[in-house]
Structure 1
Amino acid sequence: MLENERQDPFEDRLGTALRDAGDGFEADRAALVTAGRARGRRALLRRRAAVVGGVAGVALAGVGGVLVLPADHPAGPDRSGTASAPSAGDATTAAASFTGDDLLHELKGLLPPGTYGEESARGSDHQLGPTAQLVYDDGAGAAAIGMGFARVEPGSAQVRELMACPDHNITPYDDCSSDRLPDGSLLKLYQGYEYPDLRVDTKRWTADLVTAEGQHVSVSEWNSPAEKGAPVSREEPPLSTERLRELVTAGVWREVVDAVPKSRKPPRSAAPRTERPEVSGKSVGDTLAALLPRKLDVVSRGGQESEYAYVVVDDGRGRSLVQINVQHGMADVAGQLYADGETLPDGTRVATRQGPGEKAGSGVVMWTVDTLRPGPAGFRVVISAFNTGDQNKDATRDAPALTMEQLRKIALSGEWDRLR
């Protein structure tokens, strides 16, 4: 457990968006492109890997016996434009590997003219998966650009969370859209900030594509030559929303994901907390709402797919955010979280904290009651309340709408045992 979780156990969860993918996706004509470049790209990779008699212009036998023509051959493939996913006829060649240099070469070819520096990349065969990063300058200032590639389960909770725009009450951002493309892929375009508390003016714009086959391609760009620790070098990141769309939907990236060995399993946590299923975020929110004092009006509520929920309440003196996290498998960190707390007769551990909020809002305070039920499952319920309805904005009242005693009563309620 990270040390800063002692101050705000929701920090890691608040950095992510409240996810709930919606319907009503719009078409994207830019995604409809030819497959010629995809075939040409695979031809280039094979030419790098084979020499046939040293004679240029001779057809090369590709993987699986497919005949591949050199790119400069009159009948060879066209490498211009953005590619689409390979057709069924190309299935035998989809497993061609990509080196880190290949990925950097493809990325540069899809960017507007400019200069490059601080390049790094991992190929499709790398144990940690393929990535590509560089610093790009179009003449208006250096900017970091990074790409990642992975496989995900289509239609899963992971995809729904990934492709949903954040809740403004939790994460400040300027713009976000999530659409379905004609081929069934999901595309999210996001314009936000590197630091949710806005303590530095570093902007972070991203594009995420998840295809119907589960290929995930992500692009991130900053208005700084580094993700963190470097001064802002330009007002905005270099690629417009449309440029990001064109970059992330380029067909070559789907080939990169396909080239990752399918037998490779994602890295596992060194110490998995539990094998119990995660608690439904809806169940957490419903239970919290039912346990609130009657004098409080719930003006808004939300939550994540699992474990986390929040409500904004008003007692007539201003809005107050109340958030809660319910987790299994936390017994292994009891010594860190409850070292200065109390132990109840039934073995429940309780820790309380009152201090400043850790977001951007001025004058915001955060009151927390953190509980851990006894037993090997390590069932944790932790609730916090704020003196504002949005912890990214300034305080709107002197204290949270719930007292510490009321927070304690909610956290220790037997209603939570139904979610164990």
Structure 2
Amino acid sequence: MPENQYTDPFEDRFAAALRDTGHSFRADDPAALAGRGEVRGRRKQLLRRTAVLGGMTGVALVGVGATLLLPADVHGPRRTSAAAGPAATASPSAASPSPAGTFTGDDMLRSLKELLPQGTFSEEQAQGTGATTPPYARLVFDDGAGAAALGLSVDRTDPGGEQAAQWTTCPDKSIVSYDDCTSATQPDGSRLMLLRGYEYPDRRVDTRWWNAELVTPDGVHVTLSEWNAPAQKDAPVSRPQPPLSVEQLKEVVTADVWRRVAAAMPRSPEPSVTGEAPLEGRPSGAIAKTLMGLLPENVKVTGRSGPGGDYAYLVVDDGKGGSLVQINVQPGMSDVAGDLFRDAEKLADGTLVTTRKSPGEKAGKDVVMWTADTLRPDGLRVVVSAFNTPAQNEDATRDAPALTLAQLREIALSTVWDAGA
């Protein structure tokens, strides 16, 4: 059976994500906080697109049920109201940058609006290339069929790096619920992903989220997102679908103007040789491979994650049906000890260990999640969970996960994680 390829993200969306905001407070429900934390890695891909329009909602939550983590390279200020802009017609050209060779916020908005169909605009907000964080434009667009939130951001990335692979690879449907997704190399060598999905994976409301991600051969990264509501969250659905078709999403995100925007962005300073090194996860492919080596002999791997950050997953089968197994290997997590390991067992070497059985975190019926969570004295957190279904957003397919709590504990405590996955 071919391996599933999953990069999410969803759900962080990236190696550059900041530490969980929840780390700084005491949780009334440690188990719930732990559940949110252990899936942080696979959400990283979703987090950046949430930040594109995060300021329009005033709600810092990701649609998959976790506290929002804003990546260091994304700017998401609070909403400010603005007067509606004039109607615009589609045009292959876009606004020229300001005389100083930069793009202002007005330039960003004008460039975006010239690429959209005829309609009206409101709730406009933008940032140009003169800031220390990436430029973006966001607005509410109405083509006569209903108001829709829409946002675009431009950044740079390593085109051959892991983040670029995450952004331009379709997520695995066993983790993320969506209608369709395509990922392809364009004639100029750019990678483009077009996804039509939902703001809430459990579809508790019918807010649709359609997304385009482009990474060019020279490292320009353009993100475009749209919703069928005037805000990505907490706003009534205003139309059956977002306003732009997949073809229109592609036309906007691939417009040459965004390359000129990226060229006008200030270059990031070279990292200091004496500065503190950033915390980095381990390659997801290596994590998945290491996890495979720790499985009991009676289980067969039928699916696995692709490139990613500090998260990986396998789908295993012990002869009784598929069972999802996920793992996070996260350095620098000492600050969660007080919230997640209050009543944990403490081993002789100082490692904290806790196990639990809880309901599944998504909408699948009768899904259970068994978890072993560990925290080494050096701050390395290894948390492993198993489910009684091969896909969390689907109903349970077996009575219990394929791995027992004892087996999950043994995997999480393995010394291979200390040596590096």
- Establish whether TM, by shorter chain, passes 0.5: yes
1:133 is paired with a residue of what secondary structure?
Answer: strand
Q: In the alignment, is the contact (CA less than 8 A) between 1:351 and 1:370 conserved in 2?
A: yes
The AA in structure 1 aligned to 2:42 is L
C-alpha spacing 1:302/1:80, structure 2 compared with 1 (3 Å) = closer
After superposition, give the CA deviation of every residue in 1:245-295 in whole Å (9 maximum; x if it has no partner): 1111111222122222224689xxxxx8x7465323222212221221222
2:345 to 339, 342, 347: 342
1:213 to 218, 226, 233: 218
Partner of 1:71: none
**Displacement of 1:341 after TM fit?**
0.8
**1:240-255 paired onto structure 2 within 5 Å:** 240-255=245-260
Partner of 2:81: none
Higher deviation after alignment, 9-18 or 99-108: 9-18
Mapped to 1, the partners of 2:144 and 2:413 lie a distance apart of: 59
Matched, 1:394 2:395: yes
C-alpha spacing 1:276/1:203, structure 2 compared with 1 (3 Å) = closer
2:305 is paired with a residue of what secondary structure?
Answer: strand
Partner of 2:365: 362
**1:309-328 paired onto structure 2 within 5 Å:** 309-328=312-331
2:375 to 372, 376, 386: 372
Q: In the alignment, is the contact (CA less than 8 A) between 1:331 and 1:379 conserved in 2?
A: yes
Matched, 1:163 2:162: no
Partner of 2:239: 234
Matched, 1:332 2:335: yes
Matched, 1:9 2:37: yes
Partner of 1:417: 418
**Displacement of 1:152 after TM fit?**
1.3
**Displacement of 1:355 after TM fit?**
1.0
**Displacement of 1:222 after TM fit?**
0.4
Mapped to 2, the partners of 1:296 and 1:175 lie a distance apart of: 31
**1:12-411 paired onto structure 2 within 5 Å:** 12-16=40-44, 81-83=91-93, 96-263=101-268, 275=278, 277-375=280-378, 378-411=379-412
Q: In the alignment, is the contact (CA less than 8 A) between 2:202 and 2:393 conserved in 1?
A: yes
After superposition, give the CA deviation of every residue in 1:188-216 in whole Å (9 maximum; x if it has no partner): 21111112232222111111222222122
Mapped to 1, the partners of 2:306 and 2:45 lie a distance apart of: 9
Partner of 2:14: none
Q: In the alignment, is the contact (CA less than 8 A) between 2:191 and 2:216 conserved in 1?
A: yes
Name the Cα RMSD after superposition.
2.7
Mapped to 1, the partners of 2:336 and 2:164 lie a distance apart of: 29
Q: In the alignment, is the contact (CA less than 8 A) between 2:198 and 2:206 conserved in 1?
A: yes
Higher deviation after alignment, 396-405 or 384-393: 396-405
**Displacement of 1:351 after TM fit?**
1.6
TM-score (norm 1): 0.76
The AA in structure 1 aligned to 2:382 is V
Mapped to 2, the partners of 1:298 and 1:17 lie a distance apart of: 24
The AA in structure 2 aligned to 1:388 is T
1:159 is paired with a residue of what secondary structure?
Answer: helix
C-alpha spacing 1:113/1:275, structure 2 compared with 1 (3 Å) = closer
**Displacement of 1:391 after TM fit?**
0.4
After superposition, give the CA deviation of every residue in 1:39-87 in whole Å (9 maximum; x if it has no partner): xxxxxxxxxxxxxxxxxxxxxxxxxxxxxxxxxxxxxxxx994259x9x
Mapped to 2, the partners of 1:145 and 1:289 lie a distance apart of: 41
Q: In the alignment, is the contact (CA less than 8 A) between 1:15 and 1:171 conserved in 2?
A: no
Higher deviation after alignment, 294-303 or 3-12: 3-12
**Displacement of 1:154 after TM fit?**
2.4
Q: In the alignment, is the contact (CA less than 8 A) between 2:41 and 2:328 conserved in 1?
A: no
Mapped to 1, the partners of 2:314 and 2:179 lie a distance apart of: 23
Structure 2 unaligned segments of length 5 or more: list them. Answer: 1-19, 47-88
Q: In the alignment, is the contact (CA less than 8 A) between 1:82 and 1:251 conserved in 2?
A: no
1:174 is paired with a residue of what secondary structure?
Answer: strand
The AA in structure 1 aligned to 2:143 is D
Q: In the alignment, is the contact (CA less than 8 A) between 1:151 and 1:214 conserved in 2?
A: yes
TM-score (norm 2): 0.76
The AA in structure 1 aligned to 2:41 is R
The AA in structure 1 aligned to 2:92 is T
**Displacement of 1:224 after TM fit?**
0.7
C-alpha spacing 1:135/1:141, structure 2 compared with 1 (3 Å) = same
C-alpha spacing 1:179/1:383, structure 2 compared with 1 (3 Å) = same
Mapped to 2, the partners of 1:94 and 1:216 lie a distance apart of: 24
Higher deviation after alignment, 174-183 or 132-141: 174-183
The AA in structure 2 aligned to 1:419 is G
Q: In the alignment, is the contact (CA less than 8 A) between 2:90 and 2:118 conserved in 1?
A: no
Mapped to 2, the partners of 1:364 and 1:8 lie a distance apart of: 16
Q: In the alignment, is the contact (CA less than 8 A) between 1:17 and 1:166 conserved in 2?
A: no
Mapped to 1, the partners of 2:326 and 2:361 lie a distance apart of: 14
2:355 is paired with a residue of what secondary structure?
Answer: strand
**Displacement of 1:238 after TM fit?**
0.5
Structure 1 unaligned segments of length 5 or more: list them. Answer: 19-78, 267-271
Mapped to 2, the partners of 1:329 and 1:94 lie a distance apart of: 45
C-alpha spacing 1:295/1:364, structure 2 compared with 1 (3 Å) = same
**Displacement of 1:320 after TM fit?**
1.2
1:231 is paired with a residue of what secondary structure?
Answer: coil
2:262 is paired with a residue of what secondary structure?
Answer: helix
1:242 is paired with a residue of what secondary structure?
Answer: helix
Mapped to 1, the partners of 2:187 and 2:393 lie a distance apart of: 37
